[in-house]
Structure 1
Amino acid sequence: MSAVNDPQIWTLIGVFAAVMLGGMTLMTTLINRAMAAGFAAVDAKFEAVYVKLDHLDRDVSALMRREFGMPDS
């Protein structure tokens, strides 16, 4: 049985720690990018809804002006 003070064991411990830290960093970065892309897609969909609502408001206002004889603002 080898002792813990052998250089090879400390090298393996260092390599394992570096691999674990690198893997956690990679996963954190990928999850962060995926979440940002998802939020951007949701924001784009909300913007599309806002544009449709603005157009609907404009169309309803135009119909009201035409039907009720309201002056243009």
Structure 2
Amino acid sequence: MNEPQVWVLIGVFAAAIFGMLTIVSTLFIHVMKAEFGSIHRRIDNLDRDVNALYRHSFGNDRD
């Protein structure tokens, strides 16, 4: 463990693992934000459709 090459390899592997962890976590956050955004849009569309059906069914169809 006293050889400089060993410490260089340890440093390189540690930097590579830290870099990959950073990239994977950043991409994961982007994917989760995109998924939550699409879920929110789906709920808004569903709410709009349910409101339209309610207005149509109960005779409040002035819109």
- Higher RCO (C-alpha 8 Å, min separation 6): 2
Q: Give the TM-score normalised by the residue count of structure 1.
A: 0.70
Number of residue pairs aligned between Structure 1 and Structure 2: 60
Letter in 2 for 1:43: H
Report the Cα offset of residue 16 of structure 1: 0.7
Report the Cα offset of residue 62 of structure 1: 2.1
Q: Structure 1 stretches (4+) deviating beyond 6 angstroms?
A: none
Q: What are the ranges of 5 or more consecutive residues in structure 1 without an aligned counterpart?
A: 64-73
| Residue 13 of structure 2 is aligned to residue 19 of structure 1 | no
Letter in 2 for 1:21: F
What's the Cα RMSD here? 1.5
> What's the counterpart of residue 33 of structure 1?
30
Question: Which of the numbers 7, 10, 24 marks the counterpart of 2:7?
Answer: 10
Percentage of identical aligned residues: 33
> What's the counterpart of residue 58 of structure 1?
55
**Worse-superposed segment, 15-24 or 52-61:** 52-61
> What's the counterpart of residue 41 of structure 2?
44
Q: What are the ranges of 5 or more consecutive residues in structure 2 without an aligned counterpart?
A: none
